[in-house]
C-alpha cells in the first residue's frame, strides 16, 4: 500500500519537494479565498520556516506553517479547518491518479470486517480512546465503526451518516454512565466527541472518494463553521468596525434634516428685541434656537435563553454602538425591559458589561421566557414621550413569544412614533414564523428586518440603512 | 542553548523552569533560526512574559525589557539626546574649535541616551528583547517599531541608520485587548498561548513546588481548571496556581476540602464578586467529596 493511502492526514503523503511548493501555494490561495490575509512575505517566511523543521513530524510542519501564516486566533481557526481538508484532498487526488485503493489489498472489505463486531466492545474502546486523546486509535476505531455499520445502510450523505453512527453507538457528550462494575467514567466533553466525529467524517469521505474515484468539488467553508467558536473579544473588533461605519452613515442622515429645519421658525420675540438697536426696524431676523437633540437611537436587545448563542454577539454590537454614539439608550429584555445605558457608559470592558447585565439587569421575572407583548407595553409607557420622528429604534431579537400575546398593535404604535424601526433577527430567514416565532406580525411595521448573527450581516444591515444595495450572500 | 532542533529548545527551556508546549517550543526555535520577532498573544497569566524571560535564561542572553503603556513615545523607548551633557559641552568647549565642530560633536553617540530598543540593537552581546503588552500603546508606536522589527535598525535623523551588531531575539506580548495592525503582524511569527491542560499544568506546578504530593497536585489543578471554567473577572493564572501550591504546602494541607479552600481561596481569586461566585460554585462541590482525593 502506498504511503498516500496509509496516512491521508499529512504532507508525508505528498510525493516530495517538486510538488510541495505548488501545493503550498495552492493552500495559501485557498486561505486567501477564505479571507485570511496571506501576503507574499508570509509565504516566503513559511518556506523559510519549513526549511528549519523536520517534515516527519506532522505537528512541527503544521505549526511552522501556522506561525508564519495565521496571525490571529480567527485566522488560525480557518487555517486548521483548511489544513486538514486541503492536504487530505491533495493526498486523495494523488491516490486516484495512481489508482491506489485500499479495497483491493489487505482483505479489509467493510462487510466482512465488521461482521461480528461487538457493539459494546467498540463503544468501550472508543470511550477509552477519547479519554486518552489518542488520535491514531480514534481513527482506526472510526474505520471499524464505519465497517461495522456497513456501507449498505449508509444514506450516502456524509453528515447524516456521521450522526447516525454516533447515535447508534450511544455516544453522547457529558457525564457517562458508570461501567458494569460500577466504576465512574470520566465525562466526555463536546470537543472530544467532535474530534471523533471528525475522524468518522474523514473516513466516510475517503470511502466515498474511493468508490466514486472522483474528488467532490471543494466548497467554501460554511459560515457557521467559522463564526461560532470565536470568542466575543475577537469579534468585538469587527463589530466595532461595522458600527463605526454605521455611525458615519447615520450622522450624514441627520445633516439632511438639519438643512430643512433652518428655513423655519423665526423667533419673533428675539427679533423684536434685536430691532430696538436699529430703531425698531427688524433688520436682523432671529431664529428659534435648535431644540437639543434627544437620544436618537434606542436599542432593545433580547437576552433570553432562546437567543443565548446570539446574545453575546448582540451585546458586543451594543457595546460598539455605545462607543460610537453618545445619544444612545439601550435596553435589555426577557420578560420585562430594563435600561442598561448606564452600565455601558460606565464600563469600558466588555466582559464586565456582560456580567453586570446578567446580574443587575433584572429582566427575568419568573419563567425566563421572553414576553414580547409586555416588553412593548413597558417600552412605550416608559419613553413614549421621547420618541419622535428623528429617533431610530433597533430591536435585536428572535420574535419568539413562547405562545404569549404578541401585542403587535402596541408595536405598531412604537413604529409610528419612531422615525425608523429596524429588526435584527439572529435566526436565518428560513426559521422565521416557524414554531412560536411571530416575526410576520412585527415585520410589516418595521422599516427593515434583517437576519443578523455575524459581522457580515451587520455590515449588510449598515449598507441597507445607508441606502446601499444589500450585499449578496 | 545551541538551537539544534525543536526538541533541544524545549529541553533547554525546561531546564530553566519553563515547560513549553509544542507550538511554543517550535516558535522559539524558529525565532532563533529565522531571526524573526515573535508575537505572543493569549489571556493574562499564561506565561507570555515568562517565555521571554525563560528564553533569556536558556540562551544566557541578557533580557532587555520595554514595558508598554499608553502614551509611550520614542524618547522613552528608543533614544533621547542628553540635553544637559550637550549644554555642558557647549559651555566647556566654547574656546576651542568653531560652531561646526561643536555641532558635529554634540550630535554624536556620546550624547545619546539609549533606551531599551536602542540598547537591544547596539549591545555587543546578543540579547533577548521583550516588548511587553504592545496592545497598550497606540498605533503610532506600532508603526515606529516596524523599522526595528523588519530590519533591526533604527534611524536617527542626526546620525543616520544604526544597525544591529548582533541579532536580538525579539518577543512581543499582547493581551489581545485591541487588534494589532496587519503591518506589525506580518513581520512577526505568531504564537497563541492558552491555559495549559491538566497534565501540563500539573507538571508546571510540580516543577515549581516539588514537595507537593502528586495526588494533591492533581486535585489542585482540577480545582483550578474548574475555577477557570467559570465566567470570572480574572481567572487564576499559572503563577497563581503555583502560589497556591506553595501556600498549601505551608499550611500543611493534605487535601483540598471546603475548609482549606475557603482559607486559601484569596490566593487564586482576587475580585470581590469572583470570590462569591467561586465559593458558591466550586466550594460547594468540594465539600461533597472530601475523601475522594485523600
Residue A70 with chain B: CB contacts under 8 Å: 190
- For chain A, give percent helix, strand, coil, nearest 5: 55, 10, 35
Burial B31-48 (b: 16+ CB within 10 A, else e): bbebebbbbbbbbebbbb
Shortest alpha-carbon distance between residue B2 and chain A (Å): 14
Q: Taking CB atoms and an 8 Å limit, are A355 and B26 in contact across chains?
A: no
Q: Which three cell numbers stand for residue A385?
A: 414621550
End-to-end Cα, chain A, rounded Å: 44
Q: E strand or H helix at B214, and its extent? A: helix B214-229
Calpha distance A234→A238 (Å, rounded): 8
Q: Taking CB atoms and an 8 Å limit, are B27 and A67 in contact across chains?
A: yes
Nearest CA in chain A to B183: A39
Q: What percent of chain B has pLDDT over 70?
A: 95
Q: Which three cell numbers stand for residue A36?
A: 485570511
Q: Quick one: pLDDT band at residue B27, thresholds 50, 70, 90? A: very high
Pick among A72, A347, A354 to test the B interface (most B CBs inside 10 A):
A72
Strands (E), chain B: 38-41, 62-67, 79-81, 112-114, 127-132, 153-156, 160-163, 169-174, 189-192
Contacts of B106 (CB under 8 A, 6+ apart): B86, B89, B90
Shortest alpha-carbon distance between residue B112 and chain A (Å): 34
Pick among B24, B25, B26 to test the A interface (most A CBs inside 10 A):
B26
Q: Which three cell numbers stand for residue A436?
A: 412560536
Q: Taking CB atoms and an 8 Å limit, are A71 and B30 in contact across chains?
A: no
Q: Taking CB atoms and an 8 Å limit, are B34 and A73 in contact across chains?
A: no
Nearest CA in chain A to B177: A233
Contacts of B246 (CB under 8 A, 6+ apart): B208, B209
Query: What local confidence, expressed as pLDDT, does residue A257 receive?
Result: 44
Query: What local confidence, expressed as pLDDT, does residue A432 receive?
Result: 83
Query: What local confidence, expressed as pLDDT, does residue B28 receive?
Result: 92
Shortest alpha-carbon distance between residue A182 and chain B (Å): 16
Residue B178 with chain A: CB contacts under 8 Å: 237
- Average pLDDT on B139-145 reads 84
Residue B68 has pLDDT above 70, yes or no: yes
Please name the residues between 161 and 200 in chain B that touch chain A, using a CB distance below 8 Å. Answer: 176-179, 182, 185-192
Calpha distance A177→A147 (Å, rounded): 26
Calpha distance B186→B184 (Å, rounded): 5
Residue among A210, A314, A281, A243 at smallest CA distance from A461: A243
Contacts of B134 (CB under 8 A, 6+ apart): B39, B68, B142, B145, B172, B173, B174, B180, B184
Q: Taking CB atoms and an 8 Å limit, are A53 and B6 in contact across chains?
A: yes
Whether B83 and B91 have beta carbons less than 8 Å apart is answered as no
Q: Is B6 on the interface with A (CB under 8 A)?
A: yes
Calpha distance A447→A419 (Å, rounded): 9
Sign of the Cα pseudo-torsion (B276, B278, B279, B281, in order): positive
Q: Taking CB atoms and an 8 Å limit, are B231 and A355 in contact across chains?
A: yes
Whether A400 and A370 have beta carbons less than 8 Å apart is answered as yes
Q: Which residue has the higher pLDDT, A345 or A32?
A: A32
Whether A225 and A303 have beta carbons less than 8 Å apart is answered as no
Whether B179 and B30 have beta carbons less than 8 Å apart is answered as no
Q: E strand or H helix at A62, and its extent? A: helix A58-69
3-state secondary structure of A345: helix
Residue A410 has pLDDT above 60, yes or no: yes
Residues in A lying within 8 Å of B, measured between beta carbons: 37, 39, 41-42, 45, 48-49, 52-54, 59-60, 63-64, 66-68, 70-73, 76, 233-234, 237, 351-352, 355, 359
Cell 485523600 sits at which residue? Answer: B294
Q: What percent of chain A has pLDDT over 90?
A: 1
Question: How far is residue A191 from each of residues A240, B22, B31, measured CA to CA in Å?
Answer: 30, 20, 31
Sign of the Cα pseudo-torsion (A458, A461, A465, A470, in order): positive
Q: Quick one: pLDDT band at residue B67, thresholds 50, 70, 90? A: very high
Query: What local confidence, expressed as pLDDT, does residue A279 receive?
Result: 83
Shortest alpha-carbon distance between residue B5 and chain A (Å): 8
Query: What local confidence, expressed as pLDDT, does residue A180 receive?
Result: 59
Q: Which residue has the higher pLDDT, B43 or A135?
A: B43
Residue A234 with chain B: CB contacts under 8 Å: 176
Q: Which three cell numbers stand for residue A133?
A: 486523546
Calpha distance B10→B138 (Å, rounded): 34
Residue B142 with chain A: CB contacts under 8 Å: none
Q: Taking CB atoms and an 8 Å limit, are A49 and B30 in contact across chains?
A: yes
Contacts of B78 (CB under 8 A, 6+ apart): B115, B117, B118, B144, B154
Whether A319 and A311 have beta carbons less than 8 Å apart is answered as no
Pick among A35, A50, A62, A64 to test the B interface (most B CBs inside 10 A):
A64
Q: Taking CB atoms and an 8 Å limit, are A66 and B41 in contact across chains?
A: no
Residue B30 with chain A: CB contacts under 8 Å: 49, 52-53, 64, 67-68
To 10 degrees, what angle do helices A408-417 and A372-383 make?
30
Residue A109 has pLDDT above 50, yes or no: no
Q: Which three cell numbers stand for residue B121?
A: 540593537
Q: Taking CB atoms and an 8 Å limit, are B33 and A355 in contact across chains?
A: no
Cell 561643536 sits at which residue? Answer: B102
For the stretch B205-246, pLDDT in tens is 988 888 888 888 888 898 898 888 887 778 899 989 999 999
Q: Taking CB atoms and an 8 Å limit, are B22 and A63 in contact across chains?
A: yes
Query: What local confidence, expressed as pLDDT, does residue A307 receive?
Result: 65
Pick among A32, A60, A316 to test the B interface (most B CBs inside 10 A):
A60
Q: DSSP letters along A134-145, please?
A: -HHHHHHHHHHH
Residue A352 exposed, middle or buried by CB count within 10 Å (0-12, 13-18, 19+)? middle
Residue A278 exposed, middle or buried by CB count within 10 Å (0-12, 13-18, 19+)? exposed
Query: What local confidence, expressed as pLDDT, does residue B64 receive?
Result: 93
For the stretch B96-136, pLDDT in tens is 667 777 777 888 888 888 899 998 988 899 999 999 999 88
Q: Which residue has the higher pLDDT, B235 or B3?
A: B235
- Average pLDDT on A422-449 reads 84
Residue A48 with chain B: CB contacts under 8 Å: 34
Q: What percent of chain A has pLDDT over 70?
A: 66
DSSP lists the bridge partners of residue A450 as: A424
For the stretch A176-220, pLDDT in tens is 666 655 566 666 777 777 778 877 877 777 777 767 666 666 665
Q: Is B23 on the interface with A (CB under 8 A)?
A: yes
- Number of A/B CB contacts below 8 angstroms equals 72
Task: Tell me what the pLDDT averaged over chain A comes to.
Answer: 72
Q: How many CB atoms lie within 10 A of CB A47?
A: 16
The number of CA neighbours under 13 Å toward the Cβ of A442 is 30
Q: Which three cell numbers stand for residue A465?
A: 440603512
Whether B177 and B135 have beta carbons less than 8 Å apart is answered as yes
Question: How far is residue A18 from each of residues A14, A22, A98, B187, B268, measured CA to CA in Å?
Answer: 10, 8, 17, 28, 54
Question: How far is residue B272 from each of residues A360, B51, B223, B234, B267, measured CA to CA in Å?
Answer: 16, 30, 19, 11, 13
Q: Taking CB atoms and an 8 Å limit, are B23 and A63 in contact across chains?
A: yes
ipTM exceeding cut-off 0.85 for this assembly? no
Q: Among partner residues A39, A63, A359, which is closest to B186 by beta-carbon distance?
A: A39
Question: How far is residue A338 from each of residues A334, A335, A341, A364, A378, measured CA to CA in Å?
Answer: 9, 10, 9, 10, 9
Contacts of A314 (CB under 8 A, 6+ apart): A301, A302, A303, A307, A396, A424, A426
Whether A58 and A9 have beta carbons less than 8 Å apart is answered as yes
Query: What local confidence, expressed as pLDDT, does residue A184 receive?
Result: 64
Quote the DSSP letter at residue A400.
B
Residue among A306, A311, A302, A312 at smallest CA distance from A336: A302
CA quadruple A70, A73, A78, A84: dihedral, nearest 10:
80
Residue B189 with chain A: CB contacts under 8 Å: 45, 49, 67-68
Task: Write down the H helix ranges in A330-405.
Answer: 341-346, 350-360, 372-383
Q: Among partner residues B6, B186, B233, which is closest to A60 by beta-carbon distance?
A: B6
Whether A471 and A460 have beta carbons less than 8 Å apart is answered as yes
Amino acid at each position: 500500500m502506498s504511503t498516500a493511502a496509509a496516512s491521508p492526514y499529512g504532507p508525508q503523503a505528498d510525493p516530495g519537494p517538486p510538488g510541495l511548493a505548488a501545493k503550498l501555494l495552492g493552500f495559501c490561495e485557498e486561505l486567501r479565498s477564505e479571507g485570511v490575509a496571506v501576503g507574499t512575505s508570509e509565504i516566503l517566511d513559511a518556506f523559510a520556516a519549513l526549511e528549519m523543521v523536520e517534515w516527519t513530524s506532522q505537528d512541527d510542519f503544521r505549526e511552522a506553517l501556522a506561525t508564519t501564516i495565521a496571525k490571529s486566533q480567527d485566522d488560525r481557526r480557518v487555517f486548521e479547518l483548511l489544513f486538514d481538508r486541503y492536504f487530505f484532498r491533495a493526498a486523495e487526488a494523488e491516490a486516484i491518479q495512481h489508482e491506489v485503493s485500499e479495497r483491493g489489498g489487505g482483505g479489509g472489505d467493510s462487510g466482512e470486517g465488521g461482521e461480528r463486531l461487538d457493539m459494546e466492545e467498540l463503544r468501550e474502546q472508543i470511550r477509552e480512546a477519547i479519554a486518552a486523546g489518542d488520535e491514531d486509535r480514534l481513527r482506526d476505531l472510526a474505520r471499524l465503526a464505519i465497517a461495522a455499520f456497513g456501507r449498505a445502510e449508509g444514506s450516502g450523505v456524509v453528515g447524516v451518516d456521521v450522526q447516525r453512527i454516533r447515535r447508534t453507538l450511544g455516544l453522547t457528550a457529558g457525564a457517562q454512565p458508570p461501567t458494569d462494575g460500577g466504576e465512574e467514567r470520566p465525562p466526555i466533553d463536546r470537543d472530544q466527541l467532535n474530534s471523533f466525529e471528525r475522524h468518522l467524517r474523514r473516513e466516510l469521505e475517503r470511502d466515498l472518494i474511493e468508490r466514486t474515484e472522483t474528488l467532490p468539488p471543494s466548497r467554501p467553508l460554511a459560515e457557521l463553521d467559522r463564526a461560532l467558536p470565536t470568542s466575543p473579544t475577537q469579534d468585538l473588533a469587527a463589530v466595532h468596525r461595522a458600527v463605526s461605519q454605521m455611525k458615519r452613515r447615520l450622522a450624514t442622515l441627520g445633516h439632511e434634516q438639519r438643512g430643512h429645519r433652518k428655513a423655519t421658525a423665526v423667533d419673533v420675540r428675539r427679533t423684536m428685541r434685536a430691532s430696538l438697536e436699529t430703531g425698531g426696524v427688524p433688520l436682523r431676523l432671529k431664529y428659534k434656537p435648535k431644540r437639543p437633540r434627544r437620544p436618537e437611537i434606542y436599542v432593545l436587545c433580547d437576552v433570553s435563553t432562546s437567543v443565548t448563542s446570539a446574545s453575546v454577539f448582540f451585546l458586543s454590537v451594543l457595546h460598539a454602538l455605545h462607543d460610537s454614539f453618545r445619544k444612545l439608550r439601550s435596553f435589555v429584555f426577557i420578560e420585562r425591559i430594563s435600561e442598561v445605558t448606564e452600565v455601558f457608559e460606565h464600563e469600558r470592558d466588555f466582559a464586565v458589561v456582560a456580567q453586570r447585565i446578567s446580574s443587575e439587569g433584572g429582566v427575568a421575572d419568573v419563567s425566563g421566557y421572553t414576553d414580547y407583548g409586555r416588553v412593548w407595553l413597558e417600552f412605550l409607557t416608559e419613553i413614549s414621550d421621547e420618541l419622535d420622528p428623528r429617533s431610530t429604534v433597533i430591536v435585536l431579537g428572535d420574535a419568539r413569544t413562547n405562545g404569549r400575546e404578541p401585542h403587535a398593535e402596541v408595536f405598531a404604535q412604537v413604529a409610528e412614533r419612531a422615525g425608523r424601526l429596524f429588526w435584527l433577527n439572529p435566526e436565518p430567514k428560513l426559521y422565521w414564523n416557524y414554531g412560536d416565532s411571530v416575526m410576520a406580525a412585527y415585520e410589516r411595521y418595521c422599516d427593515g428586518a434583517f437576519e443578523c448573527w455575524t459581522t457580515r450581516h451587520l455590515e449588510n444591515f449598515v449598507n441597507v440603512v445607508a441606502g446601499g444595495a444589500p450585499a449578496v450572500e | 542553548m545551541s538551537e539544534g532542533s525543536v526538541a533541544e529548545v524545549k529541553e533547554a527551556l525546561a531546564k530553566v523552569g519553563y515547560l513549553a508546549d509544542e507550538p511554543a517550543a517550535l516558535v522559539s526555535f524558529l525565532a532563533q533560526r529565522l531571526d524573526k520577532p515573535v508575537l505572543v498573544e493569549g489571556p493574562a497569566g499564561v506565561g507570555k512574559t515568562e517565555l521571554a524571560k525563560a528564553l533569556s535564561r536558556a540562551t544566557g542572553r541578557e533580557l532587555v525589557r520595554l514595558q508598554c503603556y499608553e502614551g509611550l513615545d520614542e524618547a522613552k523607548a528608543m533614544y533621547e539626546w542628553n540635553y544637559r551633557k550637550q549644554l555642558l559641552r557647549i559651555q566647556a568647549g566654547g574656546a576651542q574649535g568653531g560652531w561646526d565642530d561643536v555641532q558635529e560633536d554634540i550630535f554624536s553617540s556620546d550624547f545619546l541616551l539609549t533606551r531599551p530598543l536602542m540598547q537591544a540593537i547596539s549591545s555587543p552581546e546578543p540579547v533577548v528583547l521583550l516588548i511587553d503588552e504592545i496592545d497598550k500603546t497606540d498605533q503610532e508606536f506600532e508603526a515606529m517599531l516596524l523599522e526595528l522589527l523588519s530590519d533591526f535598525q533604527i534611524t536617527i535623523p542626526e546620525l543616520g541608520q544604526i544597525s544591529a551588531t548582533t541579532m536580538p531575539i525579539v518577543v512581543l506580548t499582547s493581551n489581545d485587548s485591541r487588534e494589532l495592525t496587519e503591518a506589525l503582524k506580518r513581520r512577526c511569527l505568531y504564537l497563541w498561548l492558552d491555559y495549559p491542560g491538566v497534565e501540563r499544568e500539573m507538571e508546571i506546578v510540580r516543577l515549581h513546588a516539588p514537595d507537593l504530593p502528586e495526588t494533591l497536585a492533581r486535585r489542585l489543578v482540577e480545582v483550578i481548571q474548574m475555577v477557570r471554567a467559570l465566567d470570572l473577572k480574572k481567572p487564576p493564572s499559572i503563577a497563581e496556581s503555583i502560589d497556591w501550591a506553595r501556600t498549601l504546602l505551608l499550611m500543611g494541607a493534605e487535601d483540598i476540602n471546603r475548609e482549606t479552600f475557603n482559607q486559601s481561596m484569596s490566593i487564586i481569586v482576587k475580585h470581590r464578586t469572583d470570590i462569591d461566585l467561586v465559593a458558591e460554585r466550586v466550594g460547594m462541590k468540594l465539600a461533597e467529596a472530601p475523601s475522594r482525593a485523600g
